[in-house]
Amino acid sequence: MKTFFIAAFQLMRADRPVGTVLLACPMLWALWLAGEGQPTARITLIFLLGAFVMRSAGCVVNDFADRHIDLKVKRTKDRPLTAGRIGIKGSIGVFVGLIICALMLLALLPGRAVLPAVLAFLLSCVYPFTKRFFVIPQLILGLAFSMAVIMAYIVVIGTVPLSGWLVFWASTLWAVIYDTFYAMVDRDDDEYLGVHSSALWFGSKDVFVNALFAVVFMLLLVAVGLLEQLSQYYYLALVLSSLCFIYQFAIARTRQREACFIAFLNNQWVGVIVFLGIVLSYLP
């Protein structure tokens, strides 16, 4: 039993919280913006738990969909499902348990949150399979993650204003950026296996395209700041986040796997810094 729980823990990537952080950051941006700096502790806790649960469920679906592919990739061949530390039935059981938890959390929110929650779930389930036929599966991941932004606005104020849609698209673009770095780690394996990714589609222009996306991402967040009349702390946060991007592009230019993975991980700081800028903007 202990072995099963350890395998389930790893299957959910609970030992690697970076994905939860990347999912939670735009969600927190939206909660603070919609709540004008004062979202309730109850709603915030529900959303944070939901981010962990749905990211975990997405990891289970991803490993189930890629179990035959992961077996042929050095970085992923030791994942619990691929390595046989947990079986198909066990994985399905973990997934069902996570969905039950997600439904319990959803039941605590207003009914208007159901539609974006269902869309997020469907996109999360479809995402792993889009690698077989869609040239930028990272876009699907971005849309799935960004549905949390829509949920936050709908729950807090009942609608999504223009600034909310700008946050949504900034979040989606940001996911393409950091997941492209992640895809650069597996570029050779993906090409050999015939799996699509933004890194393969962008080719030798991968870092350049990512840099363009980062510029658009920053412009979208500047527009959010102007619409919401945020303080100088927010714009300072954007400057610091831009420095993070510059660092990422500088190290990713080598195309070395470790450097690209570090660039991916560094995006946690982008999300956290922007969040802190929003929080400080609403302090008296």
pLDDT at 174: 99
In angstroms, the CA 183 to CA 187 distance is: 6
Q: Which residues, other chains included, contact 36 with Cβ-Cβ below 8 Å and sequence gap of 6+?
A: 282
Which amino acid does the sequence have at 27?
M
User: What one-character DSSP code corresponds to residue 73?
Assistant: -
pLDDT at 193: 86
Q: Which residues, other chains included, contact 38 with Cβ-Cβ below 8 Å and sequence gap of 6+?
A: 282
Rg (CA), the chain: 19
Nearest Cα to Cα of residue 174 among 18, 26, 8, 13? 26
**For residue 250, what are the CA distances in angstroms to 36, 52, 180?**
36, 31, 15
* Global pTM value: 0.95
In angstroms, the CA 282 to CA 229 distance is: 10
Which structure tokens are listed for 60?
Answer: 């289970």
SS3 state at 221: helix
In angstroms, the CA 38 to CA 283 distance is: 10
Q: Which residues, other chains included, contact 84 with Cβ-Cβ below 8 Å and sequence gap of 6+?
A: none
Sign of CA dihedral 4, 88, 148, 196: positive
3-state helix, strand, coil in the chain (%, to 5): 80, 0, 20
In angstroms, the CA 246 to CA 99 distance is: 38
In angstroms, the CA 23 to CA 116 distance is: 15
Which amino acid does the sequence have at 94?
V
Nearest Cα to Cα of residue 149 among 4, 29, 1? 29
121-130 CB burial, b ≥16 within 10 A, e <16: bebbbbbbeb
User: Along the 284 residues of the chain, how does pLDDT read in single tens digits?
Assistant: 778 889 998 999 999 999 999 999 999 999 999 999 999 999 999 999 999 999 999 999 999 888 878 777 777 778 888 888 899 999 999 999 999 999 999 999 999 999 999 999 999 999 999 999 999 999 999 999 999 999 999 999 999 999 999 999 999 999 999 999 999 998 988 888 889 999 999 999 999 999 999 999 999 999 999 999 999 999 999 999 999 999 999 999 999 999 999 999 999 999 999 999 999 999 98
Pick the CATH number of 2-281 from 1.10.357.140, 3.40.50.1010, 1.20.1630.10, 1.10.8.50: 1.10.357.140
pLDDT at 283: 93
In angstroms, the CA 147 to CA 260 distance is: 26
| Burial class (CB within 10 angstroms; exposed 0-12, middle 13-18, buried 19+) of 183 | buried
Query: How many Cα atoms occupy the beta-carbon half-sphere of 244 within 13 Å?
Result: 24
